[in-house]
Amino acid sequence: MPKVSRIKIQFYLIEALIIFLPFSSWLVSLTGQPTISLIRDILVFSLFLVSIPDYKIRNLKKLHPTLILLFILFVFLSYFWTEAGPFQWLRGVRFWLTPLLLLLTTILIDFKLEQIQKFVRTIIYVSVIITGFAILEPVGVKLSTVSILSGAGSLESVNLVGALKINRLESILAGPNALGLYLLVIISVLLGWQGEIKHYKLILFFSALILILTFSRSAWIGLIVLLLNLAIIKYKLSFVKISYLVILLVVLVSGTFYISKKSQTLSQIFNHGLSTDMRLEQYNRIVEEKFEIGLLGRGAGAAGPSTQNRLDNGSNHWTENTYLDTFEEFGLIGLLLFLTIIIVWWRQLLRIQNDQDPGLRTAHLALPSFLLAGFFINFFTGQVAVFMFFLTIGLTKAKLK
C-alpha cells in the first residue's frame, strides 16, 4: 500500500476513534448491546495493522516503544499464572492491550502538523457536545440512556454526593469520574493548543466548570496540579517560588480538610459518604496481601476495574488506585515496568523545553496532572479518558522519541 494512502487511512481511523469513544458507553446503554464497545477495539487494531510498515526495527529498538512492547508481552504471559477464568483473563487483557496499542502506534506514525491540528479540532468539537449534554443536567434535561432495546440501561443509576444528595454531572460517559478524567485531558489540550481553537476561553470555562461539578476528587486534584504546572511553565517560576507555592497549596488543602471535619457539608463533599473509608480498607488489604501478590501478581483480569461484574464470578479486587491495582494485577515486576514507562515519558519530556510547540505544551500539562490523579482513581475507569490521554501523548512522539 502506498505511504500516502496508508497515512490517509490512519488519519480517518483516528478521527473515527476520537468521535466514537465519548459516545461508546451511551450507545451500549441505549441499545443494551455491550458488543458495540468492540468498535473501539476494531478501530485500534485496524490502525495497528495498517501501521505495521511504520514499525521499523530502528524505531522499535528505541527505549519507549520497547518498554511498551515488554509490558504488553508481560500482560499476555500472565495467562500462565492468572487467578481469572479464560474469558475474564481476556477481558483484563483488553483493558490494557487496546489503549497501549494505540499509544505504541501513534508514537510511530509520522503525521503532519496539519493532520494533528485536525485531530485537535475534532477532539474539541466532540468535547463541546459532551459538555453541552452535561450543562443541561442541572436543569433536569438529560439524554435518555435507556430504550426499548436496553431495558434498564447500564448508565441509568444516579450518582450523588454522599448524604447531600447533590447530583454529580456525568453527561453520557460512564459516570462522573470518567467525565472528570476526560475533561482533564480536554483542558490540557485547550491550554496547549489555544492558538488553534476558536472561542477556546469559553470552551475552557465550561469544561472546567463541568469538571468541578462532577465532584470527582481525583479530577479536582488533577486540575489543581494542572493549574500549578501551568503557572510554573507560563511564569517560569524558580525552584524557591515553586516551593512556596507548593507549601501554600498544602496549607490550603490541609486547612480545608480540617474545616471539613467541623462541617457536615464539606465532609460529604470530600468523603462522599463511605467512599473514602472503603478505599482505605482496600489500601490496607493490599498491604496485608502484598506477599500473596508477590512478583507476578494475580494476573490480567484478576484485579483492577476489569473485575467489576466479573465473568467468572470471582472476587472484585479493585482499590481505585491505578498503581496499586497494577501491582495487584501484575505484581512488583509489572508495576516496576509500568512505572519505568512513566519515568521515561517524564525524562524525555523534561529534556525538551519548547513553550512554542502546542503538542509539547499539552503533554507538559496533561502528563503530571493525569498521572497524579491516578493515585486517587484508576484512570482506566470508563476507558475514554485513558484513550484520549495516550492519543494526546502519542501525537507528540516526534519530540518524545
pLDDT at 81: 94
Q: Which helix (H) or strand (E) holds 119?
A: helix 113-136
C-alpha cell read off for 274: 463511605
Q: Which range, of 203-207, 334-338, 358-362, averages the lowest pLDDT?
A: 358-362
pLDDT at 308: 82
The pLDDT-based confidence of 183 (bands split at 50, 70, 90) is very high
Centre a 10 Å sphere on the Cβ of residue 331 and count the other Cβ atoms it contains: 22
| Region 55-82 average pLDDT | 83
| Region 339-363 average pLDDT | 82
Tell me the whole-structure pTM to 2 decimals.
0.89
Residues 112 and 361: their CA atoms lie apart, in Å, by 18
pLDDT at 150: 45
C-alpha cell read off for 243: 516551593
Buried b (16+ CB within 10 A) or exposed e, 169-185: bbbbbbbbbbbbbbbbb
pLDDT at 187: 96
Averaged pLDDT of the chain: 84
pLDDT at 2: 62
Residues 298 and 312: their CA atoms lie apart, in Å, by 14
| Region 198-211 average pLDDT | 92
The CA–CA distances, whole Å, from 63 to 58, 68, 164, 266, 344 equal 11, 9, 49, 46, 8
pLDDT at 336: 96
